[in-house]
Amino acid sequence: MIQFFFENLNEIPLPTNTEIWLEQLIISEHKKPGEINYIFCDDEHLLKVNRDFLQHDYYTDVITFDYVKGKTISADIFVSLPRILENASSLSKAFDSELLRVLAHGILHLCGYKDKTEEEISEMRSKEDYYLSIF
């Protein structure tokens, strides 16, 4: 089950069928949807999570806490809406498109994709683009 929560900010409408699309992404990657919680928050909240749990002192758009067991995908995924808005603006992308990219990015990490090397980044972007194209 995929759930969406809003921490320290007003709830926003998500694109229609976001939950179904994310579940289909998981199934397409030969995994099973488990308990997935997206927690939308502001930059300061996500910075605190980054500092407290990862010992990183910088802003980011998404942090994924992986609870995957076998092929069942479960996680808490924290997402900074202000960071997505800023990224969308700087990349000349629509907010909803950038939001969906970040939501997919978190799930793709849980499916085993990494983004540390240039090759991994390229594969991750390709997967994000593919799933965005079928939204």
Q: Which residues have a Cβ under 8 Å from the Cβ of 14 and sit 6 or more positions away?
A: 4, 99
The binding site for Zn(2+) comprises 105, 109, 115
**Residue 26, SS3?**
helix
Domain ranges of the chain: 2-133
Amino acid (1-letter code) at residue 32: K
Residue with tokens 């199934």: 27
Q: How many whole angstroms separate alpha carbon 86 and alpha carbon 108? A: 22
Q: Give the annotated binding-site residues.
A: 105, 109, 115
Q: In the sheet where 32-41 sits, what is the strand order?
A: 2-6, 32-41, 72-80, 62-66
The answer to whether 80 touches 59, Cβ cutoff 8 Å, is: yes
Q: Looking at residue 8, what is its pLDDT?
A: 85
How confident is the model at residue 129, as a pLDDT?
Answer: 96
For domain 2-133, the CATH superfamily is: Metalloproteases ("zincins"), catalytic domain (3.40.390.30)
* pLDDT, one tens digit for every residue, the chain (135 residues): 999 999 989 999 999 999 999 999 999 999 999 999 999 999 999 999 999 999 999 989 999 999 999 999 999 999 999 999 999 999 999 999 999 999 999 999 999 999 999 999 999 999 999 999 999
Read off the pTM: 0.92
